[in-house]
Structure 1
Amino acid sequence: MIDDIAVIAMPMRFGDGECVFLEKESETALFLIAEGSIRITKQDSSRRSREITVIPAGSVCGEMSLLAGMARSCSGYAVNDVMVYKITRVAFYDLLNRDNAAAHKMLLGLCELMGGRMRIMDEQMVQLLDRQDAETHQPEMADLRDKLFNEWAF
């Protein structure tokens, strides 16, 4: 079963710091990371590159482009020497359309992976919102503290 995936997986090597894929690039392939890690970055509104995460060997990146067929949402750069297996959308969907069990199992695994990554993003979003709320209400809290300890003294 794994042989069906191996047939469509193209091995590629990247040196430390080398670009594996670029944000907004239209390529729709997934990368299975066999060795090394890939640093994921995204440009902010000032066009500065921000590190999002580092994905280690044994995981994948590019799943959104593979499944949705959309341009890359982030860039990926090799950390140390990296060995990946590239699976294109066309080859993967060809296996799916032939009702290949390995492709269906991989699809399920990618859905579970994306669900886990979405859960982490939800938690990070809540932390950012909590921090924003705390910063927004700091002047109000300082005013209340001043009243409690100075103006409302008994």
Structure 2
Amino acid sequence: MNEEHQGFSFAEAAVWLLGLVLTIQIGWLAYSMGQGIAGRPFADGRGAAAGATMAAVDSSAPQPANGPQLFAGNCAGCHGAKAEGGVGPSLKTAAGWTLAEFTEATLHGKTPDGRSLAPIMPHFADTGFSGEAATDQQLEAIHTYLGTLQ
């Protein structure tokens, strides 16, 4: 005789129920930790960043230009991480230009010898850096940074 098995045995049901309970507990723990990270206190009263402090930043105050960061975000994609060249040429020559020459090339695509830069080169007078108009301080910071890469 062949007896068909109907449903789960007690042991199988117990294992399945234990797995369900553990899954719910792990999910709840993850959710609770996420809530703590989002700024709500943990169950023991600790804040999300126990031991760390945060200071308010006055976003209206001008921030100093960061040459390496500006270069990485606006130039390195074409000219390479160390200005060694890539899609665009090496910037070793540009590092030797005066700030005025570098600014003219960066903003308007004109080199000191009067050449026009390739059409792929953005004219940052039009595009700005990260959607904001390029400032003299940013251009100086990038130019200074280029000088450190030599």
Q: Under TM normalisation by the shorter chain, which class is it?
A: under 0.3
| TM superposition score normalised by structure 1 | 0.22
If you compute each CA radius of gyration, which structure gives the higher value, 1 or 2? 2
- Structure (1/2) with the larger strand percentage: 1
* TM-score normalised by the chain length of structure 2: 0.23
Using CA pairs under 8 Å that are at least 6 residues apart, name the structure with larger relative contact order, 1 or 2. 1
